[in-house]
């Protein structure tokens, strides 16, 4: 039987791919887009592909949009919307740092809270969070994003235990580096403010992101987590990223403050 699935951040990247993939599999997909032009574009793209999909405006920061979404009855919330702002921790403007947490942490939690309450009353439901490998390891020059995903990991770990007695599942998906454009523009974002003040530490080393994976791989994994009965609590992909996470988490116990 098909599920009713709400996807945030569905206009592009993983969200878009998962929305189309689930709709093709016969699920009722509600695709949330941040702005109206994205709503129009996604509706037309779905129609052109012969796919039935409900597309709504859902800016996760917008209280009106969230309230509108809470009127929907869903089986699965795919808490996927997110932003990336790069920069060294001693230089990144606090307004930029806060904006990352507003979207990736606070707005995502508000959505999860609202739908979790309805799921608890029904005794069933699943909340899938797009976390990141960055939520499990250190990421120099991308500390704001990594910190937000570490926060997501803490929230999900607590929610998983708190909601388990009520039949509500909470799981995470943790992508490595994939060619959606998210990482590329996230690296570029610091250029917006870097030259606007005196800097005491280095800019992110210039490098081409030429080792990213095909996003179709991660999209299939995400669809599997949404569809599968009793998925793992955490799904890290690709396998090389999981290996890196496990090694770094083991190595951190040996780290010393003076190490360079």
- Residues annotated as catalytic are 145
Nearest CA to 78 among 172, 163, 182, 175?
172
Q: Which residues contact 190 (CB under 8 A, 6 or more apart)?
A: 85, 86, 87, 92, 203, 204
Contact of 234 with 172, CB cutoff 8 Å: yes
Query: Which helix (H) or strand (E) covers residue 230, if one does?
Result: none
Structure-block tokens of residue 188: 């570029």
The whole-angstrom separation of Cα 107 and Cα 166 is 23
Structure-block tokens of residue 77: 């919330």
The whole-angstrom separation of Cα 42 and Cα 53 is 9
In our burial notation (b when 16+ CB lie closer than 10 A, e otherwise), range 85-119 reads bbbbeebbbeebbebbbebbbebbbebbeebbeeb
Contact of 233 with 227, CB cutoff 8 Å: no
Query: Which helix (H) or strand (E) covers residue 182, if one does?
Result: helix 182-188
The whole-angstrom separation of Cα 182 and Cα 8 is 15
Contact of 113 with 127, CB cutoff 8 Å: no
């Amino acid at each position: 039987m098909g599920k009713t699935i709400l996807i945030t951040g569905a206009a592009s990247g993983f969200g878009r791919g998962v929305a189309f993939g689930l709709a093709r599999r016969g699920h009722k997909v509600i695709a949330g887009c941040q702005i109206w032009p994205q709503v129009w574009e996604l509706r037309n793209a779905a129609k052109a592909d012969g796919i039935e999909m409900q597309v709504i405006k859902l800016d996760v920061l917008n209280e009106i949009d969230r309230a509108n979404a809470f009127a929907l009855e869903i089986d699965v919330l795919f808490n996927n919307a997110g932003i990336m702002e790069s920069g060294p921790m001693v230089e990144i403007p606090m307004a930029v740092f806060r904006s990352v947490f507003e979207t990736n942490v606070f707005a995502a939690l508000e959505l999860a809270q609202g739908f979790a309450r309805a799921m608890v009353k029904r005794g069933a439901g699943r909340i899938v969070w797009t976390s990141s490998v960055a939520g499990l390891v250190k990421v120099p020059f991308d500390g704001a994003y990594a910190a937000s995903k570490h926060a997501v990991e803490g929230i999900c770990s607590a929610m998983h235990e708190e909601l388990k007695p009520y039949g509500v599942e909470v799981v995470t998906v943790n992508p490595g580096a994939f060619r959606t454009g998210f990482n590329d523009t996230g690296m570029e974002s610091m250029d917006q403010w870097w030259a606007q003040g005196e800097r005491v530490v280095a800019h992110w080393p210039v490098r081409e992101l030429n080792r990213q994976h095909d996003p179709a791989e991660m999209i299939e994994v995400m669809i599997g987590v949404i569809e599968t009965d009793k998925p793992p609590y955490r799904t890290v992909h690709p396998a090389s990223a999981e290996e890196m996470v496990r090694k770094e988490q083991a190595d951190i116990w040996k780290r010393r403050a003076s190490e360079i």
